[in-house]
Amino acid sequence: MTKKILICCGTGICTSTMANKKLTASLEKKGKLSNVSIDQCKVSEVKTKALNYDLIISTSKIEHEFDTPMIHGLPYVSGVGIDKCTDEVIKVLGL
Amino acid sequence: MSDLILKKDLILFDIQAESDDIVIKQIAEILFKKGYVKESYIKAIREREDKFATGLPTETIGVAIPHTESEHVINQALALAILKDPIPFRVMGDHESYVDVKLIFMIAPSGNGHLSTLQKLMAIFEDKELLSKIVKATDSTEIINLFSAI
């Protein structure tokens, strides 16, 4: 079954777009891209959308006020530690 | 929508300031004086940095990518400030950690033109040699050439 990932940042189009590209490339490298779908949104929208997703990746600081697991997406913006972070994504989603 | 490119007049050398907030204000004021952004951009980008920090530790040096909503922008622009001495910025998404920032890429986005720029910036952040060349560069033509080669 396809797992749904929601990437969020302050604007929903800046660093979340950067993170989306890097996560997509990293999942593809590991042969897991076909198992997921990825959406983006603003931090202010996360709380209401979180329940429809299996994992939240945030590049911004947000309160984890929802049941969906969350991972800090900094590696996908800074470029440092992408591999390790994607392994965590795969683990959390059970891909 | 055309791409957002780095222009010569927005490459700033030897910038000095006491704090992240002051340096962001300095650069934003230059963007305002040159007519790229509305005056409201200055306040908006400082407030945004406070709420959503943009310091990024790369493998070697620290960088920051302050930016804000396009409603404050007149003509999209990218400014690059090379700091004389590193200034601590709070790390993106982790407001308890700090990173000593040497390069600031300030983004004034409008439309979708900044998306290809963001990808370019990410390529720069992952390239240790290129980052070090930018830090050591002494004239803007050199930096423009480095950017065009990506």
What pLDDT sits at residue B72?
95
**How far, in whole angstroms, is CA B116 from its chain's centroid?**
15
Residue A26 has pLDDT above 50, yes or no: yes
In angstroms, the CA A92 to CA B90 distance is: 27
B95 chain-A contacts, CB cut-off 8 A: 61
pLDDT in tens, A43-94: 999 999 999 999 999 999 888 889 999 999 999 999 999 999 999 999 999 9
**One-letter amino acid for residue A75 of the chain:** P
pLDDT in tens, B68-82: 888 999 999 999 999
Q: Which domain holds residue A36?
A: 3-93
Length of chain B: 150
pTM of the entire structure? Answer: 0.92
Q: How far is B34 from chain A (nearest CA, A)?
A: 24
pLDDT in tens, B14-26: 999 999 999 999 9
Q: Which domain holds residue B80?
A: 6-148
Cβ contact A15–B59 (<8 Å): no
**pLDDT average, residue stretch B6-33:** 96
ipTM of this complex prediction, to 2 decimal places: 0.84
Residue A79 has its nearest CB partner, among B95, B114, B126, at B126
